Structure 1
């Protein structure tokens, strides 16, 4: 158990819960945070905060140097690529700057971290755990940028798994559904800002839809799984002797994954529309 685990996006939510769970199991967790104050809040036995903005190559290099120079000579058991942001907006409305930002954080940053730590995983026979989403299987309206990055994460994970399997490094994907995390709340705040900033024409087209998405996200916040339950699945994905290739978190994620495999696009469109309809403002239904 004297091994290292690196996890990004560990300030709050599933990342923080997974860091605590793994530290409690005896791993020495390098918990990536973006601010010193966030690190002070989660520091504990076996839980060492490290500054890790995954879009900052200098911080990625510094974390790689920390692993290479570990004073106890501990190997890296796993990297858990968890950091992420969510900004809900229709494709027509979301700015190109925000499109690029979501891909930088939700995809390209994880590729950069993975490339930086793969030499350590080759040496240890370790594991890459990529946090995807049910949005990596099904793209709901206003989730174009977020789901696009998650679809890319799924594809990269498949390719990477097949590349690394002959060399003893495993790649596992985790697909959460509704989980109560701060990211959901931040996403709602950003969606509210998008709604306010819409011009009249776009508000007429998409205002009711975006309001429904916000209401649905708020419902997830109250009914979703607690982050601590999700952390048990993440820890299993990172440490199981014979892990599955993919794990889902929550009954909603498991159901939607099955539905995506079996239903036609026409049927899936109808199911998603029916699921969203109760969240529309009355005047927009």
Structure 2
């Protein structure tokens, strides 16, 4: 059985932690990164691979590079970790940002899996996709994230059955809020999109966004350790589970998803400070929305 693993999004917070932990267990880790990743330089057992998950040509080139390096060994696992968060009122999310959300979170794992499946067959490997608790239970102002991860979950389920004949497990990991830079990046992108949106429409959500910001400021993000521990379990299990829910608020959202919809939505709205928030009084100055330049390339 192969002892080589590919991890996408390796320069991010969870990605770095996964690379360090899995390489520390003696695996050869191919760390997929879009550009330079000095933080990974010199790590024992780590080999960086240039890989933009939204570009199928880049993914194919990376698969060829890893295949040449491994020769007949193959891969123990592909860990599709690369991801972004696009947030804000769905009414004013720019088209380019919505496309970016799905290109990275949904299409990216598919492109990577397609290209690396021959190496997984050779290595007796498995696919591990990093999903999100919001895939099962969406929350307000994270609709793009929830949609992209729900689509990933659906395709993972179908792929699991498609690959059963080769005994290639397809595993979903559902983390909750984790203390990484991804949330700061998401907030910055959301503020930029809001600034470029129709001012009247943006004003409609001013009280909603203020309430959510106040509520989320009190929330503590978990460390990357529970995610790393869960992924490592899925990597090393002889028969991995279909879905692993990371301990923390991901489990809470999972429990909420089982409640009747009216009660579930009241609880979520209350937790986010939205109970009693009134509709905004402003009206759009026109029917169009400004868009941001596509940052997915």
- Give the structure with the larger helix fraction: 1
TM above 0.5, one fold? yes
What TM-score, normalized to structure 1? 0.90
What TM-score, normalized to structure 2? 0.87
Q: Does 1:167 align with 2:163?
A: no
Matches within 5 A, 1:143-222: 143-220=142-219
Distance in 2 between residues matched to 1:47 and 1:273, nearest whole Å: 44
Structure 1 pair 16–218 and aligned structure 2 pair: CA distance change class (3 A) = farther
Structure 1 pair 49–213 and aligned structure 2 pair: CA distance change class (3 A) = farther
1:139-164 Cα deviation digits (max 9, x unpaired): 11111211111010010011011111
Distance in 2 between residues matched to 1:250 and 1:135, nearest whole Å: 14
Conserved 8 A contact 1:90-1:206? yes
In structure 1, what is the equivalent of residue 122 of structure 2? 123
Runs of 5+ consecutive residues of structure 2 not aligned to the other structure: 281-297
Q: Does 1:13 align with 2:13?
A: yes
Distance in 2 between residues matched to 1:63 and 1:279, nearest whole Å: 48
Superposed displacement of residue 239, structure 1 = 2.0
1:73-96 Cα deviation digits (max 9, x unpaired): 532000011111112121210111
Q: Does 1:141 align with 2:137?
A: no
Alignment RMSD (CA, Å): 2.1
For these two proteins, the number of residue pairs brought into alignment is: 277
Distance in 2 between residues matched to 1:280 and 1:250, nearest whole Å: 31
Distance in 2 between residues matched to 1:228 and 1:11, nearest whole Å: 16
1:95-124 Cα deviation digits (max 9, x unpaired): 112111111111011100000011111222
Conserved 8 A contact 1:31-1:48? yes
